Structure 1
Amino acid sequence: MTALSTTSGVKRGTIPVFATATAITVSNIYFTQPLLEWIAQGLGVSSAAAGIVATAGQIGYALGIVVIVPLADRARLRRISSVLLAITALALLAGALAPSIAVLSTATFVLSVTTVLPQLIMPTVSSMAARGEAGRALGAVGTGLTLGALLSRTVSGALAEATGTWRAGYFAAAAATALLLLVLPRYMPEQSPHGGQDRIGYPKLLASLPRLIVGHASLRLSTVLGATGFAAFSAFWATLAFHLSQKPIELGPAAAGLFGLGSVPGALAARYSGRLTDRYGPDTVNTVGLASAGIAFVVFLFAGDSVVGLVIGCNLLGYGTTSAQIANQTRIFTGPAALRARLNTVYIFALFASGAIGSSIGLALLQAHGWTATACEGMAFLAVGALSLTVHSVRQRRTSGVQNSVETGPRVAVGRPVGKGG
């Protein structure tokens, strides 16, 4: 395996450090999900009240995407990463020591706002990669992102089981984030790789976000593809634990975390989608990702009552979703370098919003019509994405054909009249 090339001045080992950092920080968003029942029991509140913790995390993360990620276009990345990690570590420690659900929810909200570091790293690593290697770099870091999201539930659940308390997950996350604070800033560039735009005021950075959707066709396509794919992905994971607890499977709530562990092979395989993107382009990898996710939901539809079928589907869905994310971000990062953090802000916010929508619809459908309806929901979201990619491909071929026609022009004999008997 050849080493991934970076631009000059980038410290050796930066890509592996970035991949590890994304895995650790993104886990802060997800590790609380299997702990909610323990939290309810430990703090003496209802399950519904404990659910406020998860809601606070979702709201905080959405806010952090909008108000913090655009700052990466103003350089000062080393300073930003240090501040975010310090606040996150302190908020995690406060959560571990929280005496009430109100304090815990507040701490979770704060740490979710500041744990958006992966979305600062993505545009940074794209700019650091050598020409033609952006897909590979994003693939490496994106794999860390997916593994952190998948394994965090498993690890936090195992820690709670081993220690008998939900607080162990918060303590472990605080320690990991504190260690990262000692390492990551050394690898982050002092200035943004594309030079930054310090003269742009913060209000103008935020005000520019809506205009990006209008002005960048690549962002619009990636956003639609990413949003529909992530909505399907979220619908599955939001309903899996409930499906597993019902007949004929009847497994406990901890089983959902183990499915995250079982999905690791698919996530690891998706790393090579970065190379495929560099070689064949994002559209091709999006097609492969949609096909893989689509097959996954067919498996869920017809073999959803089988643990083996669900594991196979999990890997296909994980591979397809991660591959599509790599392709989508590679596409949007071909835009102007000085806009990459803001382009990523729009894209990730759309993913987050669509994930919430997909989860809500999935839970409602599961309760009203069962697992089959949830599987069909995922297929419907993916169908919208496939239609968008098809329309894009047709337009692209037509544009290419018109350009070729203009460049070559009609082939007419010169100096010879064209008419009857010609």
Structure 2
Amino acid sequence: MEPSPAAAPSAVPAPARSVNVLLFAVAGAVTVANIYFPQPLLAAVAHGLDVSERTAGLIASAAQIGYALGILLLVPLADTARLRRLTSVLLALTVLSLLVAAAAPDVVTLALATLALSTTTVLPQILTPVAAVLAGPGRRGRVVGLVGLGLTLGSTLSRTVSGAVTDASGSWRTAYVVAAAATAALLWVLPRRLPERMGAGGAVSKDARRRSSYLRLLAGLPRLLAEHRELRISALLGACVFAAFSVFWAVLAFHLAAPPLGYGPGAAGLYGVLTLPAALLSAGAGQLADRYGPRAVNALGLVGAGLGLGVAGLAPYSPVALVVGANLLVVGVSSSQVASQALIFAIGRAVAARVNTVFMLATFCGGAIGSFVGSWLYTAYGWSAALLLAGAFVAVAGFVVTVAARPAAPSCVPDATREAGSIRPRTSQE
């Protein structure tokens, strides 16, 4: 007998849920690292492939664009597809693309391989809604925060590992080989620990799967955005804060390599370790969102991000100031993202992967814009111009939060109905 959707989270024993959350966090860290580990290598890539820094910066933009494409085209499948099979295929394709990137003879091949691997390495955005569905109400923010911690650690520490590997080996290509090996290791562990399908113990009727065809899943994304005010707010907020985040990290390696600092890839990657305190601190954002609401956590996150950019801009050649600024930016952006995801996953389990698709698609489109425009501004006008752009994105995000604070008509949809998979809109952000 198929269990009711409301009972599904409790059908998984608490110890198993805890193990899965830890595994999801580790898997998310390893896979999301594939998007970020090339960032401290961009100066080395430019030198090794004999291209300009502006051209090498296209690698960072290709990663963001590919990730956005993967979120749009692949993540919605998680609502109806066999998760174990989907996960295995995505991991295998990511490994293959990483190996192609490692052997790339020119920047065009590297950019195309980056686009491909970032398109298929979208498991973090599949694992997050799965963890949220298994957690159920009351624990959703905490679980999303723990998985988000894994993503933050992966995005930050990957820069350190790739920089250290490049310094030790003398080649940026070695970092891609190491990333391929780490991703391949997940093939032996992750798929078997996933439920067969999203929700209700993994059982989905043939009729339901037929109604939720791939094209219908994609066609329904604009409707979700139109029906849910909290999804619209979160999507715009995510795009703005991640654009600011991407501006900073896309140009940091160039700034550190330029006089008077003159640091290499290893030093640029070291900033991942130095932002570890911020990554750990951001894990508490989920609990704060459960207790005080996503809006308050978003506001605090934007304050932190703005302060971080201000510190880095006021003392551009102070390594200490850059570390402090990076930490404030990481904790601010990570906290904002966790709060926004905790909010949108309350819409309903039947559409958990799709609302995450809309949110993350907007987020990484913002990241791609930030990486591209930030790299261009840095090349043309320097560090201060790039940080002013990042600050402008944070200011727009602050305006969004302020507008979202205006009261809206109360929703008449009870929580139990939403947990059972209803997609009727909620009209407030709390």
TM-score range normalised by the length of the shorter chain: 0.7 to 0.9
Q: What's the C-alpha RMSD, in Å, of the aligned pairs?
A: 2.4
1:9 corresponds to:
12
Report matched runs for 1:218-367 at 5 Å.
218-367=230-379
* Shift of residue 350, structure 1, vs aligned partner: 0.8
CA distance in 1, matches of 2:40, 2:221: 34
* Shift of residue 51, structure 1, vs aligned partner: 5.8
Preserved CA contact (<8 Å) 1:36 1:47: no
The one-letter amino acid paired with 1:305 is Y
* Shift of residue 381, structure 1, vs aligned partner: 1.6
The one-letter amino acid paired with 1:185 is P
Alpha carbons of structure 1 residues 82 and 368: separation in structure 2 relative to 1, 3 Å: closer
CA distance in 2, matches of 1:87, 1:260: 27
Given candidates 393, 399, 406, the residue that maps to 1:381 is 393
Higher relative contact order (CA closer than 8 Å, sequence separation 6+) = 2
Given candidates 191, 205, 209, the residue that maps to 1:198 is 209
1:46 lines up with 2:46 in the alignment = no
CA distance in 2, matches of 1:378, 1:96: 31
Query: 249-258 or 350-359: which moved more?
Result: 249-258
The aligned length equals: 392
Q: Which runs of 5+ in 1 are unaligned?
A: 1-5, 401-422
Preserved CA contact (<8 Å) 2:251 2:374: yes
Query: 97-106 or 218-227: which moved more?
Result: 97-106
Alpha carbons of structure 1 residues 54 and 290: separation in structure 2 relative to 1, 3 Å: closer
**Deviation digits for residues 347-401 of structure 1, max 9, x if unmatched?**
11111111122233333443444433333322222222112211221224xx57x
Preserved CA contact (<8 Å) 2:301 2:336: yes
Alpha carbons of structure 1 residues 165 and 351: separation in structure 2 relative to 1, 3 Å: same
Query: 32-41 or 302-311: which moved more?
Result: 32-41
Q: Describe the SS at the equivalent of 1:198.
A: helix
Spell out structure 1 runs of 4+ moving beyond 4 A: 36-42, 47-56, 97-106, 194-197
The normalised TM-score by structure 2 is: 0.84
Query: 133-142 or 48-57: which moved more?
Result: 48-57
Report matched runs for 1:83-122 at 5 Å.
83-98=89-104, 104-122=110-128
Given candidates 378, 394, 403, the residue that maps to 1:391 is 403
Preserved CA contact (<8 Å) 1:213 1:219: yes
Alpha carbons of structure 1 residues 167 and 251: separation in structure 2 relative to 1, 3 Å: closer
The normalised TM-score by structure 1 is: 0.85
CA distance in 1, matches of 2:222, 2:234: 15
Q: Describe the SS at the equivalent of 2:269.
A: helix
Preserved CA contact (<8 Å) 2:240 2:393: yes
Alpha carbons of structure 1 residues 212 and 47: separation in structure 2 relative to 1, 3 Å: same
| Structure whose CA Rg is larger | 1
Question: Percent identity at matched positions?
Answer: 51
CA distance in 2, matches of 1:365, 1:33: 17
Query: 19-28 or 294-303: which moved more?
Result: 294-303
Preserved CA contact (<8 Å) 2:159 2:271: no
1:181 lines up with 2:187 in the alignment = yes
Query: 117-126 or 357-366: which moved more?
Result: 357-366
CA distance in 2, matches of 1:321, 1:177: 25
1:150 lines up with 2:153 in the alignment = no
2:131 corresponds to:
125
CA distance in 1, matches of 2:382, 2:56: 25
Alpha carbons of structure 1 residues 280 and 356: separation in structure 2 relative to 1, 3 Å: same
Given candidates 21, 27, 40, the residue that maps to 1:21 is 27
Alpha carbons of structure 1 residues 291 and 156: separation in structure 2 relative to 1, 3 Å: same
Preserved CA contact (<8 Å) 2:305 2:329: yes
Q: Which runs of 5+ in 2 are unaligned?
A: 1-8, 411-430
Preserved CA contact (<8 Å) 2:304 2:331: yes
CA distance in 1, matches of 2:403, 2:46: 48
* Shift of residue 129, structure 1, vs aligned partner: 0.6
* Shift of residue 50, structure 1, vs aligned partner: 5.8
Alpha carbons of structure 1 residues 14 and 58: separation in structure 2 relative to 1, 3 Å: same
* Shift of residue 168, structure 1, vs aligned partner: 1.9
